[in-house]
Structure 1
Amino acid sequence: MSIGTQNPSSSTHSKADKQGRAEDDYPLRYAPSRYRRWAPVTVAITALGGIAYLADFSIGASIALSYGTWNAILGILLAAAIIFISGFPLAWYAARYNIDLDLISRGAGFGYGGSVLTSLVFASFTCILFALEGSIMAQGLALGVGLPLWAGYLLSTLVVFPFVLYGMKALAKMQVWTTPVWLLLMLGPVSYLLYKQPALMPHFLGFAGLSGHEGVNFSAITLSAGVALALMAQIGEQIDYLRFMPTKTPQNSTSWWVSVIAAGPGWVILGALKQIIGAFLGVFILKTVGEHVATEPVHQFLAAFQAVVPASWAMVLAVVLVVISQIKINVTNAYSGSLAWTSAYTRLTGHFPGRLVFLVINLLIALALMEGNMFTVLQAILSLYADCAIAWIMTVAADIVFNKYVLGLSPKEPEFRRTMLPTINPVGTLSFIVATLASVLAYEGVLGAGLQPYSALVAFVVAIVMTPFLAIVTKGKTYLRRHDDGIEEPRFQPDGTASTTLYRCTCCGHEYERPDMLREKEEGAIICSLCIGVKS
């Protein structure tokens, strides 16, 4: 077998490569151009299908009931602005270089081993959100058809497995076909309710909350934003789809940019709208169902549908909405979670078990959380989790914006291959740890009562300041172990276009495109990024 066999025109894989790589959606590696055959709009719709979760409605209702309508709305908008600004560079970078957020994090300040921390953060996020959505589906089935909660938890877990098993191909078809129905069921009854009962809007806007906050209160706004900011890690799930964006060309430039912005940071626009709708519906049903039930989306939409259709049909439509929403988001949670757990495990053990193993593990963890009835402590979990998620996302975003493109201290091209990276890069790793600890201490009141409501902003500020500061202190010397991967042909052109030349890995025998390959320094053999990681 020749080393570094080049075959730019080849479009075929061996049977083993198709089974072990393509159908597994190229986990833990660069997504090659020959696999990325979807149009930009298809990738965008598929990615946006992942934000169909109903937890937004519960979050909106929870913070509105706690802090009042205007504090909740302003907190939601503040969180949305932060999420959009921080998410844009990550989405653009992922779509341009066709790698997921874990691979981005490796070269954006964390190093090969340091990014294990972020993989665990992201994996836990997918489990938490899966459990929340599964709990909501179980509540809907219990109310609609009398299915016991434990059986609803199990059903909500099993139903997503067939879709996730086949990766992007199956997910794209499912998300595209179900999105119109989901949008109609979500927006239709609320729009009709406002049209028929316009007095509901002044009542909603005048609601002062149950915790005694009078008028607009900055502390209440930041507390509301802190809960909403817990969903900042959602950009990681969007990127798991955006990595399949086709190469940007003069012909598709407009649709490419619109799709990247809409499916990347743009997810938060629809997310904020859902939270405000949830706040409205929570206030709407508060007097009839009580505080705790008012935060449950199934009861919110049951009441909305009852204003449009007879009660029997309202129940059917509410259950259909819950089931469709749960499937749309939880296929994404299960898919992204399987990638994150696999990535962490592979780097910790040097063994690559395949995505299917951790798909099952991810589902079992989520099922255990559902059986533990975690839905009842939603707000507390999300508030604390927000600090960790913000620290991670802002560290990576700051590295891309400041260290790569302003200061020029971090390599602009992505680097995720094992022998090219240090085990731990202190720039991102320390920034993340310090920002997380500072924000958690603020949240727990250790840093004083004055900072306690602003723990989310503490994470934001510390991460965005520490990341460029440490890059300057280290002079950018901690990003790479090697500056030359041993292959003469460049990985990327100056415009970011990747080389499509195929090289055969001397370890696994499969062919991969140039961005995924490097030459071993000692043996001189050309090897793919996954094999060098396992081998090292």
Structure 2
Amino acid sequence: MTDATADGALIKSVITDGPEAAHEHHVLVGKDATKETLEDYTLRFAPRHYRRWTPGVVAISALGGIAYLADFAIGANIGIAYGTTNALWGIAIFAVVVFLTSFPLAYYAARYNLDLDLITRGSGFGYYGSVVTNVIFATFTFIFFALEGSIMAQGLYLGLGVPLWLGYAASTIIIFPLVIYGMKVLSKLQLWTTPLWLVLMVIPFVYLLVSHPETVDTFFTYQGENGNGATNLGSIMLAAGVCLSLIAQIAEQIDYLRFMPPRTPENSRRWWTAMIMAGPGWVVFGAIKQVIGLFLAVYIIANVADGAAIANQPVHQFLEIYRDIMPVGVALALAVILVVISQVKINVTNAYSGSLAWTNSFTRVTKRYPGRIVFLAFNLLIALILMEANMFDFLNTILGFYANCGMAWIVVVASDITFNKLLFKLSPIRPEFRRGMLYAINPVGFGSMLISAGVSIAAFFGLLGSAIQPYSPLVAIGLALVLPPVLAFATKGRYYLRRTDDGIDLPMYDEFGNPSDAVLTCHVCRQEFERPDMVACATHDDVVCSLCLSTDKLKDHVLPAQ
């Protein structure tokens, strides 16, 4: 049934057959939506009966998604532009900012089994307010999909002579079937490919340290392509701004972390270790890869003819060093294998998370659930267009601009959780995401993000003067950190909850503070879901699930304001 047909049938049923027929029609639509969403619980709470993975498996699956080679390209680019010292300080600032802001988000995702969009709704943005952050995140996924796809295409061109345009298409098409089946397939893929990826990535770096120790001195004294890499705060912040474009990566980590098992006294240590490693800990691995990327780039510039032209391309970084260790044919094969494995590992995550983000936004705005697969194709198409436009030529500008939007979103949510929820108690401590329980828009988070993103983007493009231009990341972070508590105090926290009672007389959490596993049946789609996903129906003496509430165009089931 198409959306147009569904709408027409619904209108006809209301006019000719009355509200009961309309309700039955809504039941059918709800069932259609439910069939596609049960595999990975798109748009909803991840129930306990589905979360059968151990903390270790979830952590390895999540960390498998950071196998991308974009870090090598980013590290090389900022080092070439600003010199080694400025780049290293920029990477350090990036790592500290991302770790601190990611921690509360990762904890909430693992503790309450929600993706970042659902967390954002109840952390100052409101039910519809987080749609804009979903678009920001979806943009992140196709930018980095395109970046990784471009790297893979370079590898296919170098190793197999595949034209770049065809390599771009191939790197996009092979991802589609891998992402269709959600978390079950992705967790296996990440587990199986991680050991080989680690070996292939570490070999060149270790070889250079052992065989060419003089490279270390060359690395630390490198002044950039223009030879003006003297240490200064402006260059450090410009480098940090490019790196901070990766701040939204925590949302992709959370798409795995939401499947963490309940935290109990028996598994508490393993639970915390897995949450920290796979949540904020991803940035440690990311920063190390950026440093290695710069290290390899400096070696190539110093030791390979015309090395400056290829030093920022990961496939060449690994190929040139493999050639020193083994025959050319073997070196080429290993370089291509590394690039393909890395691209597949990260782009299945980019495609998966992007499809969730687009689907979530579309369903809330239109009250239609077209299925995640539609937006999987949409996200991949945008990424392919970016690749064909040769995004490597303007990579620093793209990432520097995007960083301001990403930082505004992530830091605002982190600020709301840390200050408004935990410290000042202005925001409900436990997250809320269900329609009817939240206001449409909460000015605390939504307003903070718009102001911090807008001002920092203006600074990035020099509209606030050249003196402040390099410091746009600090502008974004500072405003996003301070504004949520300021606006929460100004509004007295009144726009967080539209209701405090969801009408169900069952506890939401168990004795350890984990979401309850009590099962209820949604009277619209006739499917069983766990207690945290359910709300009392406004017009029937029954309960309704969060997805059926999202697709309720007539507001037949949505509870009134309390």
Distance 1:347 1:476 in 2: 24
Pick from 350, 360, 375 the counterpart of residue 377 of structure 2.
Answer: 360
Structure 2 match to 1:497:
514
Structure 2 match to 1:285:
300
Distance 1:234 1:199 in 2: 35
Distance 1:214 1:228 in 2: 18
Say whether residues 1:126 and 2:145 are aligned partners: no
Structure 2 match to 1:187:
202
Pick from 224, 231, 239 the counterpart of residue 254 of structure 2.
Answer: 239
Native 8 Å contact 1:213 1:220 kept in 2: no
Distance 2:105 2:437 in 1: 21
Pick from 162, 167, 176 the counterpart of residue 147 of structure 1.
Answer: 162
Q: TM-score, normalised by structure 2?
A: 0.91
Structure 1 match to 2:548:
531
Pick from 425, 435, 440 the counterpart of residue 418 of structure 1.
Answer: 435
Distance 2:433 2:253 in 1: 19
Deviation at 1:316, TM superposition (A): 0.7
Structure 2 match to 1:21:
37
Structure 2 match to 1:5:
none
Structure 1 match to 2:558:
none
Distance 1:91 1:80 in 2: 15
Gaps of 5+ in 1: 1-14
Structure 1 match to 2:213:
198
Alignment of 1:62-101 (within 5 A): 62-101=77-116
Distance 1:405 1:296 in 2: 44
Structure 2 match to 1:7:
none
Distance 1:290 1:509 in 2: 63
Q: Residue 461 and residue 494 in structure 1: after superposition, are their counterparts in 2 closer, same or farther (change >3 A)?
A: farther
Alignment of 1:99-498 (within 5 A): 99-287=114-302, 288-493=305-510, 495-498=512-515
Matched-pair identity in %: 56
Structure 1 match to 2:7:
none
Moved more, 347-356 or 236-245: 347-356
Distance 1:495 1:291 in 2: 57
Name the amino acid aligned to 2:331: A
Name the amino acid aligned to 2:281: G
Moved more, 83-92 or 303-312: 303-312
Deviation at 1:291, TM superposition (A): 3.1
Name the amino acid aligned to 1:481: R
Count of paired positions = 521
Native 8 Å contact 1:22 1:35 kept in 2: no
Distance 1:19 1:445 in 2: 50
Name the amino acid aligned to 2:166: A
Q: Residue 290 and residue 305 in structure 1: after superposition, are their counterparts in 2 closer, same or farther (change >3 A)?
A: closer
Distance 1:29 1:354 in 2: 14
Structure 2 match to 1:6:
none
Distance 1:408 1:341 in 2: 32
Distance 1:32 1:218 in 2: 47
Distance 1:230 1:260 in 2: 22
Q: Partner of 2:436: helix, strand, or coil? A: helix
CA deviation profile, 1:281-323 (whole Å, cap 9, x unmatched): 1111125234342111111111121121121111111100000
Deviation at 1:519, TM superposition (A): 0.6
Gaps of 5+ in 2: 1-30, 556-562
Q: Partner of 1:51: helix, strand, or coil? A: coil
Name the amino acid aligned to 2:94: A
Q: TM-score, normalised by structure 1?
A: 0.95
Native 8 Å contact 1:17 1:510 kept in 2: no
Deviation at 1:520, TM superposition (A): 2.5
Native 8 Å contact 1:97 1:496 kept in 2: no
Distance 1:362 1:17 in 2: 20
Native 8 Å contact 2:115 2:251 kept in 1: yes
Deviation at 1:403, TM superposition (A): 0.5
Q: Partner of 2:520: helix, strand, or coil? A: strand
RMSD: 1.4
Deviation at 1:219, TM superposition (A): 1.1
Structure 2 match to 1:516:
533
Q: Partner of 1:512: helix, strand, or coil? A: strand
